[in-house]
Structure 1
Amino acid sequence: MSGDDAQLDKHHHAPIVGYHRAPLSQKFGAPRQPNLVALTSVIEMLAPYDTPAAFVGLEAFSHIWISWQFHHNYIKKDNLANKNADTTKTTGFRTQVRPPRLGGNQKIGVFASRSMYRPSALGLSVVKLERVEVIQGRAFLIISGADMIDGTPIVDIKPYVTYSDALVEAESGFAPTAPTLLAVTMTEPAYEQFVALADTGQLINNEKAINIEQDTVTTLMHQMQSQLLPSDIDIIKALIAQDPRPAYRRTQINMPFTMRYKSVDVSFQLIAGNELQITAVVEVM
């Protein structure tokens, strides 16, 4: 290493350009990879990065790359408890992790995984760009298929280019195909609870553009983060079908789990070898 290299700052300081606003406020239940569930969400850009001129030409691309931060990374808490022998107290660096895809038991190198416990704490996702909306002079990106939760800091946005980014001959190691989905059913009481809580209004969706004269930023965030709609039942089932439960509990029958979605807590449990059942939908108080 040259003397000049030794003087360089070991950390790259990237600005936060926006925040992800989504129905999922907790890690549990969030898709482990992008584009597994067609979940609609919003990237709220911050000033000065919310200037509409910065997005001219972006809508010509169907998908975008998003660089983001794992803001619910509790590695510092883990360090204090010293639960992982591979964790260095001073840096929080884990050399190995246990991917859920491998049953949560087999260890692999952190750089061979997409674990949140990585030196940069950065995530990278390809999502579908539904459209760019301009509200009150600010740019908002309406996207679908994100694997980020509400409040995720956004570091950068770039267009997805098929000829260089889509490599059909690429090998995917221990994850060659999408995870197998589980069947999801719903008890009648749970369905009645959902219906009673669902709003009959219309979500700002892929087919209905925002009326700039009437809809405000507050309205948009309410619709994306809180307003429960009849169509949300399909999204909830799709999220649960991904099986968000810890790998070591996936054989436990009748063990309850709760996923927070928008303004409700959705309880579900395994009732058979490949069937998860929603048992309750309760409003978050």
Structure 2
Amino acid sequence: MTCQTNAPLSHHISPIIGYHRAPLSQKFGAPRQPNLVALTSVIEMLAPYDAPAAFIGLDDFSHIWISWQFHHNYLYKDKLHKDKQTSLDNHNQQEKVESAFRPQVRPPRLGGNQKIGVFASRSMYRPSALGLSVVKLERIKIVEGRVLLIISGADMIDGTPIIDIKPYVAYSDALPDAQSGFASSAPNLLNVTITEWAYEQFVQIIANQSADNIAAENAQNKQSSVKKVIDKIQQQLLRSDLDTVKALIAQDPRPAYRRTEIHTSFVMRYKSVDVSFQLLESGELQITNIVAV
């Protein structure tokens, strides 16, 4: 029996070097592209990749490339679940991945009806289940000897596995004369309003959280920790968050085929609240309800 040592590899396994911690825990409401909403989030690096020495020089760059995984991709999750249940060998796992391949997708930008090739899109349903985003590097924070990257403009949700980080280099990465196919310009934004009732709910939730935070700080050590930094970004509601919520909803996260439905309520989870909104006859989206979860 001969062993083929020069056979081409069909798979490449990459380590998870960190996780994205963000105010958005669900796909619904997440920006469809990076830098559409200046949403603040944090990348929590994992050992041994959280060593401060690995990031020396990165703070000289304003933006970074992030390679990440579509961990809420249901096809990917289904494949993993079935693979664990049936304990398939590597060959059979490869066949399952290939059999689930979608050669065409329906981009929301084209109304959700027109099909194009998956490699002409940024669809999450792609063979690698990998995403690639440019985000702004706000600052590098060292907490408890570990690296946290504070970023803004990410189109990733909470818990997204991070595969790699590289600096964005403007002279080679920015191509102002490039053609962008069906996505030649930024999507149109809708006007977003909020009812008086929803605004009162928002203010009351902030007041309740502030009281809880003061009590917790009095009972605990005020020294910064990784958990405190992440909890602040994931859970603590601020008045400025209302502008962020409006900016997210203005992108119109509703499925393309449901964008003509009047007075149908949709719910977006943001930090520790569920935000309900609906389309009015005027064509604007209105926030009608904000409740703590």
Question: TM-score surpassing 0.5?
Answer: yes
SS in 2 for 1:272: coil
Aligned to 1:144: 152
Aligned to 1:219: 228
Give the letter for the 1:235 counterpart: T
Deviation of 1:78 (Å)? 7.8
Q: Is the aligned partner of 1:256 residue 2:278?
A: no
Give the letter for the 2:248 counterpart: L
Aligned to 1:115: 123
Deviation of 1:237 (Å)? 0.2
Aligned to 2:213: none
Deviation of 1:272 (Å)? 2.7
Aligned to 1:41: 41
Q: Given that residues 19 and 45 in structure 1 are in contact (C-alpha distance below 8 angstroms), is that contact kept between their aligned partners in structure 2?
A: yes
Q: Given that residues 67 and 157 in structure 1 are in contact (C-alpha distance below 8 angstroms), is that contact kept between their aligned partners in structure 2?
A: yes
Instruction: Determine the C-alpha separation between the residues in 1 that align with 2:103 and 2:45.
Output: 34
The C-alpha deviation readout for 1:46-87, integer Å capped at 9, x for no partner, is 00000000000000000000000000001157889xxxxxxx
Give the letter for the 1:10 counterpart: S
Instruction: Determine the C-alpha separation between the residues in 2 that align with 1:78 and 1:271.
Output: 37
Aligned to 2:87: none
Matches within 5 A, 1:1-285: 7-75=7-75, 91=98, 92-199=100-207, 214-284=223-293
| Uncovered stretches (5+) of structure 2, i.e. residues with no partner | 82-94, 211-221
Give the letter for the 1:229 counterpart: L
Deviation of 1:9 (Å)? 2.9
The C-alpha deviation readout for 1:149-206, integer Å capped at 9, x for no partner, is 00000000000000000000000000000000000000000000000001586xxxxx
Instruction: Determine the C-alpha separation between the residues in 1 that align with 2:141 and 2:246.
Output: 28
Deviation of 1:280 (Å)? 0.1
SS in 2 for 1:198: helix
Give the letter for the 2:146 counterpart: R
> TM-score, normalized by length of structure 2?
0.86
Q: Given that residues 251 and 273 in structure 1 are in contact (C-alpha distance below 8 angstroms), is that contact kept between their aligned partners in structure 2?
A: no
Instruction: Determine the C-alpha separation between the residues in 2 that align with 1:274 and 1:4.
Output: 62
SS in 2 for 1:238: helix
Which has the higher Rg, Structure 1 or Structure 2? Answer: 2
Summarize the Cα distance change of 1:159–1:74 in structure 2 as closer, same or farther, 3 Å threshold. Answer: same
Instruction: Determine the C-alpha separation between the residues in 2 that align with 1:36 and 1:58.
Output: 23
Report how many aligned residue pairs link the two structures.
Answer: 263
Aligned to 1:83: none
Instruction: Determine the C-alpha separation between the residues in 2 that align with 1:60 and 1:47.
Output: 23
The C-alpha deviation readout for 1:225-257, integer Å capped at 9, x for no partner, is 111111100000000000000000001100100
Instruction: Determine the C-alpha separation between the residues in 1 that align with 2:101 and 2:223.
Output: 49
Q: Given that residues 184 and 278 in structure 1 are in contact (C-alpha distance below 8 angstroms), is that contact kept between their aligned partners in structure 2?
A: yes
Deviation of 1:221 (Å)? 1.2
SS in 2 for 1:158: strand
SS in 2 for 1:132: strand
Summarize the Cα distance change of 1:68–1:52 in structure 2 as closer, same or farther, 3 Å threshold. Answer: same
Instruction: Determine the C-alpha separation between the residues in 2 that align with 1:274 and 1:230.
Output: 26
The C-alpha deviation readout for 1:100-155, integer Å capped at 9, x for no partner, is 00000000000000000000000000000001000010011000000000000000
Q: Given that residues 25 and 149 in structure 1 are in contact (C-alpha distance below 8 angstroms), is that contact kept between their aligned partners in structure 2?
A: yes
| Uncovered stretches (5+) of structure 1, i.e. residues with no partner | 81-87, 202-212
Q: Given that residues 71 and 77 in structure 2 are in contact (C-alpha distance below 8 angstroms), is that contact kept between their aligned partners in structure 1?
A: no
Moved over 6 A (4+): 77-80
Instruction: Determine the C-alpha separation between the residues in 2 that align with 1:108 and 1:90.
Output: 21
Give the letter for the 2:169 counterpart: V
SS in 2 for 1:101: helix
Summarize the Cα distance change of 1:15–1:90 in structure 2 as closer, same or farther, 3 Å threshold. Answer: closer
Worse-matched range after superposition: 68-77 or 163-172: 68-77
Give the letter for the 1:248 counterpart: Y
SS in 2 for 1:75: helix
Q: Return the structure number with greater helix share.
A: 2
Q: Given that residues 66 and 158 in structure 1 are in contact (C-alpha distance below 8 angstroms), is that contact kept between their aligned partners in structure 2?
A: yes
Deviation of 1:273 (Å)? 4.8
Give the letter for the 1:75 counterpart: L
